[in-house]
Amino acid sequence: MLSESALMDYLQEPLESHVGYQFRRAAILIQADLTMALKTLNLNPSEASILLVLAEKKDVIQMDLSYLLGIKRTNISPMVVGLEKCGLLSRASLDGRSQYVNLTKQGDNLIPKILLCLEKHAENCFSTLSIKDISVLGNALNHTQGLLDPKVVNSEKNSAYQQLSFLIIRTSSLAMSKLVKDLALLDLIPTNASAMMMIFNNPGINQSNLGRRLGIKRANISTLVSELKARELVNTQVKGRTQKLSLSEAGLSLVKLIARKFEQHERYCFAHINEPKKISGLLLAIREQLAKK
């Protein structure tokens, strides 16, 4: 556990220096760009990843798709049904309980178009990175994903569906799931906790700048701040049309607990990364490239 002085040092580090925070911010932008890239094919990223897995493997059991892609069984079933209705895959009974899933000819014909969309998407996201940078980032992602969910990494690690975007999105999702559980003990979610750390480091920040720095839309940041005010964790000072934010005494006490949770989460998920500043820098470069679009 961090000492009080180490805790204050950690609290005063900007969120941008945390690998987990960079993963979350990069994943959000990548997911949005990937969704747009696949929109012309009437597919979402999860559906595309299912088809790419099936292009690599035949006779995949539907339950295994859930493990391979880290998608909950309750979520993957309606996606498989939807893709079947579109004529892109077929199912066959295995033992009365399990089902084999395979691409149809129509689905197989769609794979080159998906790969073309992914190529264009990769150009949008990663063209500023060198081949070495991509390799370093990919290795860190595989290692982290293996730590958080060995089932995903141990299956077809090098197949097409695990290109960099899917790796970043999946790794961020796994890390975020753990953080959600960690912060639930404080009755907080990651966005609220991140907002409190940002306010701690920037007392007097206004609501608009808080939303901009956290990448949260105006309507959502307004709701978030209202929630923190309702719990008496944040004080506001109104000057004209500007609302300046600072932590209350209760907020200052809670933000120390938040910092401990963030530090423990960062250590658990990313301590194995040899060059965390390098990885954070690469993820920031991706964010900046997508922000310029």
CA distance 254 to 233: 8
Token duo for residue 226: 């209202």
CA distance 82 to 141: 30
Token duo for residue 136: 């370093």
Mean pLDDT, range 83-95, rounded to an integer:
90
pLDDT bin (cut points 50, 70, 90) of residue 11 is low
161-184: per-residue pLDDT in tens? 447 888 898 889 889 999 999 999
Q: 194-198: long-range contacts at Cβ-Cβ below 8 A with a sequence spacing of 24 or more?
A: 194/15, 194/21, 195/221, 195/224, 195/225, 195/228, 196/228, 196/233, 196/234, 196/247, 196/251, 196/254, 196/255, 196/258, 197/11, 197/15, 197/255, 197/258, 197/259, 197/262, 198/15
Output the DSSP codes for 253-274. HHHHHHHHHHHHHHHHHHTT-S
The pLDDT value recorded for residue 157 is 44
Range in 4-8, 25-29, 168-172 with the lowest mean pLDDT: 4-8
The pLDDT value recorded for residue 62 is 85
CA distance 291 to 28: 11
What type of residue is 220? N
Mean pLDDT, range 66-75, rounded to an integer:
81
pLDDT bin (cut points 50, 70, 90) of residue 12 is low
pTM for this one? 0.83
187-235: per-residue pLDDT in tens? 999 999 999 999 999 999 999 999 999 988 888 999 999 999 999 999 9
pLDDT over threshold 60, residue 125: yes
Phi, psi of 44 (to 5 degrees): -100, 170
pLDDT bin (cut points 50, 70, 90) of residue 159 is very low
Pick the CATH number of 24-154+274-280 from 3.40.50.11540, 1.10.10.10, 3.30.499.10, 3.90.1170.30: 1.10.10.10
Q: Which residue has the tokens 């701690």?
A: 200
Token duo for residue 37: 């890239």
The pLDDT value recorded for residue 291 is 87
CA distance 195 to 224: 8
The pLDDT value recorded for residue 153 is 46
The pLDDT value recorded for residue 243 is 82
pLDDT bin (cut points 50, 70, 90) of residue 7 is low
273-289: per-residue pLDDT in tens? 988 999 999 999 999 99
Looking at mean pLDDT, say which of 17-26, 31-40, 139-148 comes out highest.
31-40
pLDDT over threshold 90, residue 142: no
The pLDDT value recorded for residue 230 is 95
CA distance 188 to 114: 38
